[in-house]
Amino acid sequence: MSANNAPVTLRDYRELARRLVDPPVWDFWEGGAGEESTLAANTEAFDRLRLNPSVLRGVHRPETTVKILGETWDAPVAIAPLALQTMAHPLGEVATVRGTAAAARVPVIVSMMAGRTVEDVAAEADVPLWLQVYCLRDRELTRRVVERAERAGFGTLVLTVDAPHLGRRLRDERNGFRVPASVFPANLYAADPGRDGFTSPAGHAGAEFDPGLDWSVVAWLRSVSRLPILLKGILTAADAERAIGAGADGIVVSNHGGRQLDGVPAGVEVLPEITAAVAGRVPVLLDGGVRRGRDVLAALALGADAVLLGRPVLHGLAVAREEGVARVLTILLEELRDAMTLTGTGTVAGAGPELVRPGAARPSPEPTEIAAPPGTAPLPGTVPMETAPAGTVPPAGSGLWRGDLHSSVSDPVMDTMNFLNEVTSRYPEAISFAPGRPYAGFFETEQIFSQIRAYLDHLAAQGATPEQVRDAVFQYGPSAGRIREIIARSLRADEGIDVPPESIVVTVGCQEAMFLALRALISGPDDVLIVSSPCYVGITGAALLLDVELTAVEEREDGLSCADLEAAVLAERARGRRPRAVYVVPDHSNPSGTTMPLAARHELIDLAARHDLLILEDSPYRLVSPGARVPALKALDRGRRVVHLGSYSKSVFPGARVGFAVADQEVVDSGGRTVLLADELAKIKSMVTVNTSPLSQAAVAGALLAADGRVSELNRETAEYYGDAMRHTLACLERRFAGVPGVRWNSPTGGFFLALHVPFRAGNAALARSAQDFGVIWTPMSYFYPQGGGEHTIRLSTSYLTHEEIEEGVARLAEFIAAERHADERR
């Protein structure tokens, strides 16, 4: 593969997905029935078709819209039903409808065997939703699912008629394929929670699908729903006639992706005879083998009203969640418009049989490698070329396959900051509300030397010999840190947190403190960390690296609800899992800026005691925020329920990379001996970073000593600066957005961040438009929702911009939001 091309075809995305997905899951997606001759025929039949160009037709902007069943689509393409999309990403079908909406207004057909409920999907859908139906032996269960979909706003039913049971799929048999335990058909669970046995798709189908269906099933389905009904799985003109006679409102020509009976024809091969028999009485859609825009045009020329796009959607979902789905659909539609232009086809209705001719089959070209140009960041949503399926042996000297690396390195959350950095570097003139970095004007180069000198003088004054003073900055020192006593005094003076120095571990920033705490507390696959959602991506990333299971509790408008948290704890225990800790940022949180009230803090500590939980408290913005502070959770902690995670990145200077963990919980070993949790964290640290840089510790200690331990006093002027920047930002937002429909924001009293709700999807694509066309950068809040959410909210950082930059940035943001609202109205 070439290393100089970004992903530009659906085949490219297939190759990327293949390298990310576990081989048995990949075989489940990509495999077909029997020897897979029909599976191959689906794409080969399109390869044999040739398009006849027609020149000098003046087709500059071809019109792709179509009207089917009374509804106008942006293009003659719908998303095919694909079961259990949560195997590609936990958001599954929710991400698919989001990604589809970002590319075009076309229907998404949601499988009855979806991994997300019809209600979940409908809540996120800005596109028409259709429900694919298997008529089960249990007609009552089938009816309940259909009724729920209709109540949720689904507009059409697609009854699959070619699956009395699942075809014999040899890849799955050889792999002994089982659906992962975390994946299940959510609509059947929601409709009938007592059922199980979903791990074997073939076994479940054999037990639950009704093999005795006949044409009367159409009338039965009509009796339980008023929605239009299409029949999917028609491959002959005779069955098309029978379908219309039975009352079907449309037909989907399909061989089930080559997954039922091997040896049947490709859908596009039989399409002309079926459309001739139907003669326009009902819409005819084609499913199977569509991989290029010219395939869509060929299908239209042979009589189809539209096509369904299947496996490529899974590929996009696996590679880059909704952004990948959007990109896959965008590529297909760009190719369709290109083919229409170059064949002189001005409208979809203008594609007739004279447009196609048969041709000799040719093998498809090998996909090109996906990589960024030299010296640039990889394209978001792609993986570098040194990737392959797990277990593949790379050629000698070619490096490593990503498929053999830990799965966390391919998770989209690990690329969020890289994407922001790429956008910022690509548009250096843009005003950026993205980074939550301290204002550099308060830092002086010489202060580092004076701080280190103050610490060394302190050691000497304490009686250290010159050799000991020298060792304090030149040698490793203890893993738990050299400056624990100084930190303990500072915590007493500033926070009212009274803990012994030995309960503190000095870390490389707060990120390492999180990592150590998770590694120590989460001991097995059934242990769970609970986080508020949205939450800081650092804890999400640490959990990914350590294979820690996360459960997210979505915050309300006023922050985390203890009632919601308790419900999550009880739900996890009901599943047989053990909630171990809850991570919170109680003060001016990143990303939302919310602060937990005092009453809620007491309630949280009581809840932790009641349910034997620990609280991981991370509050980096407390001491750089103006005004009175609510007591820290650790200051209120009387039962040693709180592990306090701290950092001097915001309050001293970020380059120090010094943080700490206060872990005064007692740990009892098998012999009855008691040590502190901090001792266990120090053991882990000794095998990770060994120790925190003594020079960095010296610089931080000198700053603490100079302020007599009161970091709040050290940062009085800094806190006022940040508070003023926040107030000015809020005032600018009020001037620009007061009364604007769909725009609202919170009003933090400190910290660096606030959340702005907007009336459109604020993802990476919108961010790129904002940076390029309007010169303003922000952070999509969806980055901070580990289990989905926040698509209509952006995070603004106010920390380091001048008043003039804030005013100009908010003005540009107002222009961008107005343009997006106008574009949404046009769509």
> In the 3-class helix/strand/coil scheme, how is 391-410 assigned residue by residue?
CCCCCCCCCCCHHHCCHHHH
Per-residue confidence (pLDDT) for residue 421, from 0 to 100:
67
Active site residue ranges: 256
pLDDT score at 534: 94
Q: By percentage, how much of the chain surpasses pLDDT 90? A: 69
Q: How far apart are CA 475 and CA 301, in angstroms?
A: 76
pLDDT value, residue 200: 66
Confidence at 766, pLDDT banded by 50, 70, 90: confident
Residue 376: per-residue pLDDT: 34
| Structure confidence at residue 180 (pLDDT) | 82
pLDDT reported for residue 611: 96
Find the mean pLDDT for residues 533-558.
92
Q: Which residues pair with 110 in a beta bridge?
A: 131
Residues 711-723: tens digit of each pLDDT: 999 999 999 999 9
Residue 363: pLDDT above 60?
Answer: no
Using one digit for the tens of pLDDT, what is the confidence trace for 85-141? Answer: 999 998 999 999 999 999 999 999 999 999 999 999 999 888 999 999 998 888 889
pTM for the model: 0.60
Quote the CA–CA distance of 687 and 357 in Å, as a whole number.
67
Strands 66-68 and 71-73: antiparallel
pLDDT at position 423 over 50:
yes
Instruction: Identify which of 33, 19, 18 has the alpha carbon closest to the alpha carbon of residue 288.
Output: 33
CA neighbours within 13 Å on the CB side: how many for 566?
13
Residue 313 CA to residue 55 CA, distance in Å, equals 33
User: pLDDT tens-digit profile of 282-328?
Assistant: 999 999 999 999 999 999 999 999 999 999 999 999 999 999 999 99
- Mean per-residue pLDDT over the chain, rounded: 88
Cis, peptide link before residue 107, omega less than 30° from 0: no
Is 110:129 a contact under the CB 8 Å cutoff?
yes
Please tell me the distance from the alpha carbon of residue 732 to that of residue 738, in angstroms, as a whole number.
10
- Cβ neighbours of 53 (radius 10 Å): 12
The answer to which of 176-180, 253-257, 365-369 has the lowest mean pLDDT is 365-369
Calculate the alpha carbon distances from 683 to 293, 435, 474 in Å: 58, 33, 22
Q: What is the DSSP letter of 9?
A: S
pLDDT of 401 higher than 90: no
The answer, yes or no, to whether residue 739 has pLDDT greater than 50, is yes
Chain segment 161-190, per-residue pLDDT in tens: 988 778 788 888 888 888 887 788 888 865
Summarize pLDDT for 652-687 with one digit per residue, the tens: 999 999 999 999 999 998 888 999 999 999 999 999
Residue 196 has pLDDT above 90, yes or no: no
Q: Are 275 and 258 in contact, with CB atoms under 8 Å apart?
A: no
Residue 778 token pair: 């922000």
Q: Tokens standing for 689? A: 């970073």
Residue 11, both tokens: 């085949």
Q: Is the peptide bond before 534 cis (omega within 30 degrees of 0)?
A: yes
Q: What is the largest CA-CA distance in the chain?
A: 100
Give the pLDDT score at 202.
61
Q: Determine contact, residues 380/415, Cβ cutoff 8 Å.
A: yes
Task: Label the pairing between strands 744-745 and 674-676.
Answer: unpaired
- Stated as kind and residue range, the H or E segment containing 530 is strand 527-533
Is the model's pLDDT at 7 over the cut of 70? Answer: yes
Tell me what the mean pLDDT of segment 419-431 comes to.
77
* Residue 326, phi then psi, degrees to nearest 5: -60, -40
Tell whether the model's pLDDT for residue 387 goes beyond 60: no
Q: At what angle do helices 466-474 and 694-706 cross, to 10 degrees?
A: 110
